Every structure is written in C-alpha cells, then in structure tokens.
Structure 1
Amino acid sequence: MGRGAKQIRSMGARVQAMVEETAFYATTADGIEDVAAVDLQKLGAQVEAWKTGRVYFRAPFPFFYRANSLARSIHRIVILLKRAKAMSLDEIYETARSLELSFIRPEQAFAVRPRRLGQHPFTSQEIGRVVGQAVIDASLQAFGQRLRVNLDDPDVALNAELLDDDLLLGIDTTGDVALSKRGYRAYQHPATLNPAVASGLIDLSGWDPSCSLLDPMCGSGTILIEAALKGWNVPPGRWRTAFAFQRLAFFDGRLWEQAKEEADAQVSQRPLQLLGIDRGLKHVKGARMNAEQAGVGEAIHIRQGDCTKDPLPSVEIVITNPPYGVRVGKRRLMAKLYGDFLDNLRRWAKKATKVLFITGEYRAFAEVLAARDLPLLHERGIVLGDLPTRLFVFHVG
C-alpha cells in the first residue's frame, strides 16, 4: 500500500481527533471584529481574540458547515492549520513544509492565496511561491507524487497570510466569493454597503424584531434587507450554490444537509417595522426589487422622498449609509446634506431615536454634530473595502 493510500485511510482518524476542538479564524471588515465575534459565539464558537479584520476561535470541526450558512457579519471561515512567527521566506517555507495534507486528495489541485500586511523585504507573490513549493515538497513525501497547481479553479485554496510577523496558514472553507456576497441583489447601487457590515451595524444598534427601523437614504436597501433576514431568521447563505468546503477531502454531505435543514427550520416570518426612503426613484425601485429577490419584500416598506425636508416617520432606530461624495454626490455638498437631514430628523422625532450614521466624510459630519450639540454615544472606524469610514452613534429627540 502506497503512502497516498495510507494517508487517505488515516484521514478519518485525524478528522475525528479534530472534532472536539479545532482552531479557526474568520475574516470580516476591519472595525467590526467585536460584532463578528459575538456573531460566531451565538453559533457556538469559543472566541479567543480578534485583530485586523480577523477573529480567532475554536469550535468542533464541523462548525464550518453551520458558520458558512448562518454567520452574518463574516466574509470567510478558515480552518487554521498553522500559526507561527515568521520574519523570513525560509521560516515561512519551514512552517508550510510541516503541514499535514489531510485536507486534500492526491489527485486534486491546489492554489495558495497569499496576503501580507506590514513591512517585509519580500512580496505577497513570493510568499505564495514559497508556500506552494513547500506544499508540493510535502506532497511528494505524503503521496509519492506532486500535487497539481490550479490558480484559477483549485480544489483547495490555502490561505497564507503574514500580518507583520504573524503567519497564518489555513484552508478557506468559503471560497473566492465571500459570504458577504449574499446573492440576492437584482439591482446594483453604485455605492452599495457591504451586507456583512450592514448586519454588523444592526447588531451594534441593539435592534430586535419589535423595534421600528428607518433607513432614510436606503439606496439599494441593504440595511433593511439584512434586518429583515435577521428578523425572520433567514440564513444569509441561502442563495449560495457552492462553497469551497464541498471540494475538500473531508467534506461530509450528510453533515452539510443537516446544517442546512437546521438553518431552514429556524425561519419564522413575523410583522416587522422596516422603513426606507430614497430620493432617487431608480434606487427605490431597485431596493424593492432586491427585497423581493431576498424573499422579504413583504417585511419592508420603501418610498421615494427627500429625508432633508419631507416628513419622517418617528422610529426607535435610524441606520443609514449616506452619500460620501466619493461615488455619489459631491463632497462639498455633504456637510449641508448631513446637517439638513439631522435638522429634519429632530423636527419629526416624537421619541428618543438612536441614530447610527456611517460616512467617509467623517470630519464634516463631526462638525455637523458638534454644531447641533448632539453628544456621541459611540464612535469607531470601519474600513469599507479600501475606504476608511467612521460610524457615529447618537440620540435625537
């Protein structure tokens, strides 16, 4: 019997050994790691730490099935194979060379997805090359043959991330398409908010299905749709047809079907007070289309209007991602837009309203708040793609 066959036969024992406690990390937007940690804890994870858009946790090995289906504020779920200190390419090679290859079959192809943050005398591409060579060398010993490389459509994607001197080697169970790409968008707004961040804002607001929620500049409706999905317990991964874990050597179709059935069994429709306004009729129609595509059209009420001067409903929570002047609008007009909106909101608020306002024009908005003597409850930075923004939380009324 060859070494490859022995490797496959022993795989089950190794996987069983990992069931009790397996190291993972999840990626998320930089700035909502604490929210993502709570998201994972609610699903059963034991969170250990978070930093720089990553949450480190432990959970039973099959946890990735459940997390990929149900995690709302997460981009990817990664099985953490090795974590070590590394300052050189040689150290990276040695760490990668020590990997056990129970996650891949000899006939499968792999790719390395490298990423680097910090100052290093080498590039991300060099990290990818070195880790790839280490895996090939390990496969020669484990299987008696070289693993194939396929950068475009690999069976297994190996994450190799160097964050300063912190080396992470792990198996991406999600795939190249992040969990935040829900799949319900029939209409694409030119400045759409990341759904994982939208879900994080909802959690930060303290919203629950009994609360009224308004997005006065709702764009394509992402915040409202995410609230409806949360309020009805709809799995955010429902529209996804493929995950990276389905091609891994230890994929168990029975466990995956069980995870999906358990998630679907939690869906429960109830009346929700989710209200949206947008000035653009095109966006209003698009938001309604997206809500219908997500199956929550009945839960959301969206109308055309101008939140700076039209009557506004009195609600408990306002969450909005207004124009920044980067993709939509002009930056010099943002301070006026923000100020006019706040003045109108104060005019119509009949009860204390909690407001969450995220913007890339945070200096202008901070001045608007100060001029109206609205004290902050909370403020934090959140990175949207490559764009630094700030979230402001305060009360009106």
Structure 2
Amino acid sequence: MSQNFKMIAKTLYGLEEVLEKELRQLGAMDIKKGVRMVEFVGDQGFMYKANMMLRTAIRILKPIYSFKARNEVDLYDGVYQFDWSQYLTAHDTLSVHGTIASKYFNHSQYVALKTKDAIVDQIRRKTGRRPDVDTSHPDLRISVHINDQTVDVSLDTSGEPLYKRGYRDKTNVAPINEVLAAGIILLSNWDQRSTFIDPMCGSGTIAIEAAMIGANIAPNINRMEFGFERWPDYDNQLFEAIQESCLKKMREFDGKIQARDADGYTVEKARENVKNANLQDFIEVEKGDFFRDHQSAQAFLMFNPPYDERLSVDIESFYAEIGNALKQRYTGSTAWMITGNLEALKHVGLRPSKKIKLYNGKLESRLVRYDMYSGTKKTHKIHGKSKSQ
C-alpha cells in the first residue's frame, strides 16, 4: 500500500475555502487551510488525482525538507546537506523557484540561485557532472519558501501551473485565469439547472469552466504532462487507473450554457477554445450585445466586464450602462460580476447582495452579486414571506 505524505495546494486569495471543500470532497486527509494555500495528506495516487481534478489549485507541492537559515551560508549548507540523488541525476534538468517572507532574506531570485548552486554542486561532487538548468521544461521543479528563519523545500508535482488547462489557444486581451473562473463559479453556488450566460465571454473561459463543473469533467484531464511524470518513482499504470476513474466520474448535464460577445472576432476565438475543450455539445457560442439583448427570467449571468486597459470608452458611463441593462433587460435573473476596477462598481447603480474580495493576478478585485427581482425588492420580500407562511 502506498505511503501517505503531506502536500500543499496553492491557490488564489479568496479561494481557500473553495479549495478546502474540493479537497474534502475528493477524500483528502488532515486538511488545514492557510492563506493562498491548503495543506492536506494523501498517497501517490491521490497526488495524481488532485492534480487532475482540483479546479481551484494553481499547483500541488510535496514538501521534502525543512531547516533553519539566517543568511546565504546557512541556506547553501542546509540545501547541500539533503541527499538530492534520490530525485535528480547529473543528466536531468532542474529549475528552482523561491518565495520569501523574511527579514533575513530579501530577494527571491537570489534564494533560488543559491539553492540551485547547492544542489548542482552536491551532484557534481558525487558524479563529476552537474545537472543543467531548464526554466521552461525541467525534469524537476523545486520550490523554496522561506518564512522568517524556516526554509521549506518542496517538489512541484504539477509542472506547468494547473490553470494551464490546454484548451485556451485563442485569447482576448487580459483573459480571466482559469482557476479564478472556476473559483467564482463555485463561490456563486450556481444550481447547475438555471440557464448559465456569460454575456461578455471574451475567450470563453467562464463558460468552459462552467460546462466542466456541470458535467463533472476533470479540469486537467486533457493536459499534456504533469511534473510528477518525470520523477523516478512515476507509476504510469497507477496514473492511467486514476485517469480512467476521473473519466468515469463524468455525468450527464442537460443545463444550458451560453457564451455571448458583441464582437464577432472574439466570438470566433471563444468558439475555437470551446472546440479545443471538446465542449461543443454543452456550450452555445453566439454573437450578442449585452446592452440590447433581452433575457427571460431565471437566467444566471456571470461575467468579467472589461476595465481600464481593455476599455477605450468612459468607465463611469460603461458601468452605469451595465446597471441599466440589468434592471431593464434581465429582470428575474441573478447576475454575478467580477471586476478589478473597484471605483467603477460605484457607478453600476445597484446594491449588491453579496461582495467577495478576490485577486485577479496582483489586481485587487470584487466578485459581486445582483438579484434582479421582478418589481421592487420590497415587493419580492413580501411575496417570499407570504409563500413561506
């Protein structure tokens, strides 16, 4: 039986609880939520499954070694003392990524460089040859995290970040990250029955992630390669069994998902991405203007409107138009919107029933919900109360 070990799933700020829930549903043990990360325990097969199935994880790290360091000599010596031959030969390639939160170290790239030096020096002393560095496609990715004096060294099991699902060849300017797109859908608690519409779909990412959630398709089932596939202990038979298990978890999905955009060229890009994801049966991609379309009640809208760098018109009037369109054309619908322009939200002219702080890259953002009641909100509350009594 495979041995259990600790892993760390990295995520975006604000998605920690969603990731924690995903891990619990997947069967992880000893789950501990942190900031932009969730710790958990599982075996080798679970490591494969987590990489394939988690929608809101950016990468999965496997901690292998910890020590104390207050300067570059301590750091070099600490890394050098670990036996790297169990993970790396002189013929392999490596890359090192460093993150720091310490008064003793102030440059993450320098930390990565000293770590790399210690590893290759050790292997060269033992074999007479040093492994090469390959930052784009290495055999082993190593992560070094320094918190004050504590140095944690981990292996990156994922390789390329897990938001690189492989379906998005065509993108518009500043597309939403796939992990963030999946996260806001899961945060919204979409019932997977209401018609799901992204009326400003761009490259189609939100609609694609919604379809994969609705049909329970593993987000990275079509990924070309994971980092662990280059490890000495990689078990291809186990991996294929996990992959087959993920495929069996797919379910029928009869819901309706629509991706719309007013720009014809953008619609074609979204259509191409939907095709790459093999989701043509689940998603309708069509040209449509959010400000002119009418939508029947019970629709569920989720969109990432353009802001600042993607918009050549006046922000205030654009967001005011969003509010007017929701009031006049989408009565009876629930609308979720994420934006990195916090000032622009003030011009929508609607009071959100929910507001969640997130980050889109380094940009502080808000995910807001608007409930577009028929009639006034007060009338809706009275009717709702009388029905429940």
Number of matched pairs: 370
Match of 1:211 among 176, 184, 194: 194
Q: Please tell me the residue identity of whatever aligns with 1:68.
A: N
- The answer on 1:329 being equivalent to 2:311 is yes
Post-superposition Cα deviations, 1:153-205, rounded to whole Å, max 9, x if no partner, equal: 43211111235555331111111x21111111242211211111100011001
Q: Matched residues in 1 for 2:69 and 2:320: separation?
A: 49
Deviations 1:306-349 (A, max 9, x none): 212331343342211110121x113x622222221222222234
Q: Which AA in structure 1 matches 2:34?
A: W
CA distance 1:95–1:40, shift in 2 (3 Å) = farther
2:216–2:249 Cα contact (<8 Å) kept: yes
- Matching residue's letter, 1:257: E
Determine the C-alpha separation between the residues in 2 that align with 1:344 and 1:306. 10
Question: Superposition pairs for residues 62-77 of structure 1, below 5 Å?
Answer: 62-77=45-60
How far the C-alpha of 1:37 sits from its partner, in A, is: 2.3
Q: Which residue of 2 aligns with 1:378?
A: 355
The amino acid that maps onto 1:135 is I
Within the alignment, does 1:368 sit opposite 2:347 as a pair?
A: yes
* Aligned twin of 2:247: 264
Aligned to 1:174: 158
Matched to 2:184, the amino acid is L
Shift of 1:151: 2.8
Give the aligned residue type for 2:372: V
Structure 1 unaligned regions, length at least 5:
1-15
**1:117 Cα offset (Å):** 4.8
Structure 1 residues 341, 305: closer, same or farther in 2, change over 3 A? same
2:328 counterpart of 1:355 = no
Give 3-state SS (helix, strand or coil) of 1:229's partner. helix
Q: Is the 8 A contact 2:331 2:372 kept in 1?
A: no
Contact 2:171–2:202, Cα closer than 8 Å, also in 1:
no
Aligned to 1:355, the other structure's residue is in SS state strand
Which residue number in structure 2 is paired with residue 31 of structure 1? 14
Contact kept in structure 1, 2:58 and 2:161, CA below 8 Å: yes
Structure 1: distance between partners of 2:46 and 2:95: 23
Which of 340, 351, 364 is the aligned partner of 2:321? 340
Instruction: State yes or no: 1:250 paired with 2:225.
Output: no
1:273–1:299 contact (8 Å) kept in structure 2 = yes
- 1:240 maps to 223
Describe how 1:1-397 pairs up with structure 2 within 5 A.
19-46=2-29, 47-51=31-35, 53-83=36-66, 86-101=69-84, 102-105=86-89, 107-117=91-101, 120-136=104-120, 139=123, 147-152=130-135, 153-163=137-147, 167-175=151-159, 177-326=160-309, 328-330=310-312, 333-351=314-332, 353-365=333-345, 367-369=346-348, 371-372=349-350, 374-382=351-359, 384-397=360-373
TM-score by length of 1: 0.84
What is the Cα deviation at residue 358 of structure 1?
1.0
User: Structure 1 342/172 Cα, relative in aligned 2: closer, same or farther at 3 Å?
Assistant: same
Q: In the alignment, which residue of structure 1 is the partner of 2:380?
A: none
| Structure 1 partner of 2:379 | none
Distance between the aligned counterparts of 1:62 and 1:138, measured in 2?
A: 31
1:277-312 CA-to-partner distances (Å, cap 9, x unmatched) read 211111112212211221111211232222123313
Residue type at the aligned position of 1:171: L
RMSD: 2.5
1:298 is paired with a residue whose SS is coil
Deviation, 1:270, is 2.3
**Distance in 2 separating the partners of 1:173 and 1:44:** 18
Give yes or no for contact 1:158–1:170 (8 Å, CA) kept in 2. yes
- Structure 1 residues 227 and 90 mapped into 2: Cα distance closer, same or farther (>3 Å)? same
Query: Under a length normalisation based on structure 2, what TM-score does the superposition of the two structures give?
Result: 0.86
Q: C-alpha separation between the residues in 2 aligned to 1:190 and 1:282?
A: 13
State the Cα distance separating 1:145 from its structure 2 match. 5.6
Mean Cα displacement is larger for which, 37-46 or 223-232?
A: 37-46
* CA displacement 1:357-383 (0-9 Å, x = unmatched): 111111220x135x43x143232132x
The residue type paired with residue 326 of structure 2 is L
**Whole-angstrom distance in 2 between the partners of 1:136 and 1:234:** 40
Residue 110 of structure 2: SS of its match in structure 1?
helix
| Deviation of the 1:137 alpha carbon | 5.4
Q: Distance in 2 between matches of 1:84 and 1:314?
A: 59
Give the conservation status (yes or no) of the 8 Å contact 1:82–1:95: no
When residues 164 and 306 of structure 1 are mapped into structure 2, their CA distance, relative to the original with a 3 A threshold, is farther
Letter in 2 for 1:125: Q
Unmatched tracts of structure 2, length 5 or more: 374-389
